[in-house]
Amino acid sequence: MNKLGSTERAQVIRCLIDGCSIRATVRITGVAKKTVMRLLCEVGEVCADYQDQVFVNLRSRRLQLDEMWTWIYCKAKNRTEEIARKNPDAGDIWLWVCVDADSKLVPTWMLGRRDMVTATAFVEDIAKRVRGRIQITTDAFKVYLNVIENVFGFSVNYATLQKVFGASDEPEKRYSPAKCIGCDMKTVIGNPDPKHVSTSYVERQNWTVRTNLRRYTRLSNGFSRKFENHAAAVALNYFAYNFIKIHRTLRTSPAMAAGVTDRLWDVEDLVALWESYERRAERAA
């Protein structure tokens, strides 16, 4: 089977992390659509595996958690029995995100339903990546209350922050919440520092995802049709965010700020990592 060279692979990846759709990537690079989809899945697996390996023993002090909704193939309300038979993954899906408030690193993300099972797996994954006592802030989603206590016990400082919205004089707009008139903070476990009880960074991260990742852009046709493609795109997006792109506030990458790496990566470094995975697989075969 013919393989694209490193230069062509870098062109495809650069388009994808810059927010181009699959069809736009095909037009820009001249690479066939099926090839672009295959490359996305392959590099996505590499990105997910590498970050899973290096994001351990993190010295995080303050973490913020949130979830973001989208769908695969169709929205849950439009899912029929016929669609379910053809594509069991069709329907609503939630992206669970954890952000380090200091380094802006995203050490953990997870795709699944907005339920206790996914929440437990998500928080357990966080627990195995950090060391020491940390402070966690979430919104008032009740599932977090039991899950964080079950996973961390009392060795965590945990608080919730719920925004209070009031009536607005302006007409209601789609995706525009009412005016925020205050916040309700509650201490759940330990002694969290009130100055750092916030979900601003993780909410800003959600905006970044919807801006940079085509599959999360609102009111578009860029949604995923398969779970595998969706997971690969998310993994690639977070690799670019953590290792390749410079954070405007930090003036470095989040991975550098967190001490995970000592240099700023570029797309060519990711291609080299990808090809090293391929050579390892060939030797194993």
**Is 169's pLDDT higher than 70?**
no
* Mean pLDDT on 252-257: 97
With a cut of 60, say whether residue 163 has pLDDT above it.
yes
Q: Are 205 and 185 in contact (CB under 8 A)?
A: no
How many separate domains does the chain show? 1
CA angle 39, 40, 44 (to 5 degrees): 115
**What's the mean pLDDT in 174-190?**
77
- CA-wise closest residue to 250 among 101, 60, 51: 101
Over residues 61-84, the pLDDT tens digits come to 999 999 999 999 999 999 999 999
pTM beyond 0.95, yes or no: no
Q: If you average pLDDT over residues 178-200, what whole number do you get?
A: 87
228 inside domain: yes
pLDDT digit string, tens, across residues 29-40: 999 999 999 999
Mean pLDDT of the chain: 92
> What's the rounded Cα separation, in Å, for the pair 272 and 121?
31
Q: Residue 82's domain spans which residues?
A: 6-284
Q: Is the pLDDT of residue 175 over 90?
A: no
Tell whether the model's pLDDT for residue 1 goes beyond 60.
Answer: no
Does residue 99 lie in a domain region?
A: yes
Write out 254-277 in H/E/C secondary structure: HHHHCCCCCCCCCHHHHHHHHHHH
Q: Is the distance from CB of 103 to CB of 254 less than 8 angstroms?
A: yes
pLDDT given at position 254: 97
Taking the C-alpha atoms of residue 255 and residue 269, their distance in angstroms, rounded to an integer, is 14
94 found inside a domain:
yes
Assess if residue 1 is contained within a domain. no
Minimum mean pLDDT range among 162-176, 211-225, 237-251, 256-270: 162-176
Say if residue 45's pLDDT is above 60. yes
Read off the pLDDT band of 170 (50, 70, 90): low
Output the pLDDT for position 2: 63
Structure confidence at residue 185 as a pLDDT band (50, 70, 90): confident
Report, as an integer, the average pLDDT of 134-151: 95
* 43 falls within a domain: yes
Q: Say how far apart CA 100 and CA 188 lie, in whole Å.
A: 20
Whether 68 is in a domain gets the answer yes
Asked if the structure places residue 260 within a domain, the reply is yes
158: domain CATH number is: 3.30.420.10
Among the ranges given (18-27, 49-58, 254-263, 265-274), the one the predictor scored with the smallest mean pLDDT? 18-27
Other Cβ atoms closer than 10 A to 178: 13
